[in-house]
Amino acid sequence: MKTFEKKIRQSASQHLDGKPAVTQGHVGWESPSNIAIVKYWGKYPGQVPANASLSMTLRESVTRTMMDFYFSEKRKKPGVDFEFHGAAHQGFARRIEKYLTGLSGFMPWISHTKFTIRSENTFPHSSGIASSASAMSALAACLCEIDEQMFGKDPAIEFEQKASFFARLGSGSAARSIYGRMAEWGITASCGDSSDEYAIPLPELHPDFFGLKDSILIITTGEKEVSSSLGHDLMRSNPYAKLRFEAAEENMQRLCNVMRNGDLGQFIDIMENEALSLHAMMMTSSPGYLLMKPGTLEAISRIRKFRAQTGLAIGFTLDAGANVHIIYPGQQEAAITNFIASDLEELCEEKTIIHDGMGMGPRKL
Ligand code: DP6
C-alpha cells in the first residue's frame, strides 16, 4: 500500500468505534479549475499517473459547493441529493454517490451520512475549462472539513495533502487544484517531495510568473467527441506512449528549472510542445481522433505570427478539446488583449473569450 494512503487509513482506524463530535452541519468550499502546462495523459489503476504534470491554478473559473450533512448510525450507505445551479441533477448525484462510496474506506463515517449538496460553476459547461478539477477538489475540501469537525484534526496529516489525495481519486487533475499559483502532481526527479498520491505546490516559482494570464478562446462549445477517460484508456495501447511518458518527464525537469529562473521564452516553448504532444497522442491512438478544429489551428498560427512580429511573451496551450488557452504575463495584458480582440475574437463561437489568470487556490465559504 502507498505511504500516504496507509497514513490516512491508520488515522481513520483510530476513530472507528468513536462517535463523531458533530453529527450534522454545513460546510462550503470554492475551488478553482487549473490548466496543465505539462499534461497528465495516461494512467494506471488507482488513479496513478503515467507521468508527472504541472499546472497553473485559475482564479475566476471556480466551483462553489455547499454541503449539508446528517450522520446517523442507522444509515448504511451514503445518500446524496444534488443540485447544480439550483436544479436537481440525478446524473451528477449518482456519480458523487459512487465517489463517496469509494472514499468510505478512508472515512467510514461517509457510509452513515446523508449529503445535500448544492453546487455552481462560474464558467460555462463545455468551455474547455476542466470542471471536474474544480468540482472534485471542492467536494474533497468539503469532506476533509467535515472529517475534521467530526473527529478533530490529526496533527500528522496536512489538510491540503489530504484534500489533494481525495480530489485525485475523483479526477486526477483535481489533485492540483488544491494549491495556488502552480502545482505539481506525480513522481518526478525535478520536484523535491513529489508524489503520485497527491499534488504539491511548486516549491520555487520566479516572481516573473506571478500573475500569469490565461485567455481562453471558445472555438466551440460542443460536447467533446471523445471523453478524457477514454483518452487516458487509449494511451494503454498507443505505440508512442512510452516515448511520450519519457518526454513528459524531460519537459517536467526543464520546466521546473525554467519556473525557478524565470525564462519566459523557454516556458512557452515547453508549454506549446506539451499541448501539441497531447493532441499527437490523440491522433496516434487506435482509433485515432482529432479534437482540434480549423479555428484551433488558425488561432495557433496567428498567435505564433504575432509573437514573431512583436517579440512579446505569448504562447498557447490546449486541453483535451478544441479551445485555445493563451498564456502570457500580466505586464503585457494591454497589448495582448488588444491583439486577441482584433485578431482572434472572430474565430470564437459567438465571439466568446474567457479572461482568467493565476489564482491562489481553494477558499472556505
Ligand atoms: C488533458 O483529470 O480529467 O486535462 O483522472 O480521468 O478525471 P481523470 O482525468 P482528467 O484528465 C486531464 C487531462 C488533461 C491534462 C491535465 O489536466 O493534466
pLDDT tens digits, one per residue of 21-40: 999 999 999 999 999 999 99
| Furthest CA-CA distance within the chain | 69
Task: Check pLDDT > 90 for residue 223.
Answer: no
DSSP 145-189: HHHHHHH---TTS-HHHHHHHHHHHH-GGGGGGGSSSEEEES--T
Task: Check pLDDT > 70 for residue 16.
Answer: no
Cα 99 to Cα 170, 196, 261: the distances in Å are 6, 19, 40
pTM of the shown model: 0.97
How far, in Å, from the CA of 221 to the mean position of ligand 1? Answer: 18
Contact by Cβ (8 Å): 39, 248: yes
Average pLDDT over residues 318-342: 96
Number of H helices, E strands in the chain: 9, 14
Contact by Cβ (8 Å): 130, 227: no
Task: Check pLDDT > 90 for residue 98.
Answer: yes
Task: Check pLDDT > 90 for residue 50.
Answer: yes
Task: Check pLDDT > 90 for residue 128.
Answer: no
CA dihedral 359, 165, 228, 194 (to 10 degrees): 80
Q: What per-residue confidence (pLDDT) applies to 12? A: 86
Nearest CA to 344 out of 181, 336, 162, 224 is that of 336
pLDDT tens digits, one per residue of 232-290: 999 999 999 999 999 999 999 999 999 999 999 999 999 999 999 999 999 999 999 99
Record: fold of 1-365 = Ribosomal Protein S5; domain 2 (3.30.230)
Cα 211 to Cα 56, 112, 180: the distances in Å are 10, 43, 11
Ligand 1 site-directed mutation target among 55, 57, 173, most atoms within 8 Å of CB: 173
Q: How confident is the model at residue 226 (pLDDT cuts 50, 70, 90)?
A: confident
The amino acid sitting at 180 is: G
Q: How confident is the model at residue 18 (pLDDT cuts 50, 70, 90)?
A: low
Three-class DSSP category at 319 = coil
Contact by Cβ (8 Å): 198, 185: yes
Nearest CA to ligand 1 atom 6: 229
How many whole angstroms separate alpha carbon 272 and alpha carbon 193? 26
Task: Check pLDDT > 70 for residue 13.
Answer: yes
Listed by start position, the domains of the chain span 1-365
How far, in Å, from the CA of 40 to the mean position of ligand 1? Answer: 6
How far, in Å, from the CA of 136 to the mean position of ligand 1? Answer: 12
Cell numbers of 86, please?
A: 439550483
Q: What per-residue confidence (pLDDT) applies to 14? A: 81
Nearest CA to 257 out of 187, 206, 328, 211 is that of 206
How far, in Å, from the CA of 176 to the mean position of ligand 1? Answer: 10
Three-class DSSP category at 337 = helix
Q: How confident is the model at residue 1 (pLDDT cuts 50, 70, 90)?
A: low
State which ligand 1 atom lies nearest to the alpha carbon of 40.
18
State the angle between helix axes of 159-170 and 131-151 in degrees (0 to 180), rounded to the nearest 10.
130
Beta strand 182-185 pairing with 113-121:
unpaired
Contact by Cβ (8 Å): 293, 100: no
Nearest CA to ligand 1 atom 12: 173
Which residues sit with their C-beta closer than 6 Å to ligand 1?
Answer: 36, 39-41, 53, 130, 132, 171-173, 228-229, 232, 278, 319-320
How far, in Å, from the CA of 76 to the mean position of ligand 1? Answer: 32
CA dihedral 147, 151, 153, 154 (to 10 degrees): -100
Q: What per-residue confidence (pLDDT) applies to 124? A: 82
Q: How confident is the model at residue 299 (pLDDT cuts 50, 70, 90)?
A: very high
State which ligand 1 atom lies nearest to the alpha carbon of 320.
1
Three-class DSSP category at 336 = helix
Nearest CA to 258 out of 57, 51, 58, 54 is that of 54
Q: Give the rounded percent of residues in the chain with a pLDDT score beyond 70.
A: 98
Task: Check pLDDT > 90 for residue 222.
Answer: no
State which ligand 1 atom lies nearest to the alpha carbon of 229.
6
The amino acid sitting at 160 is: E
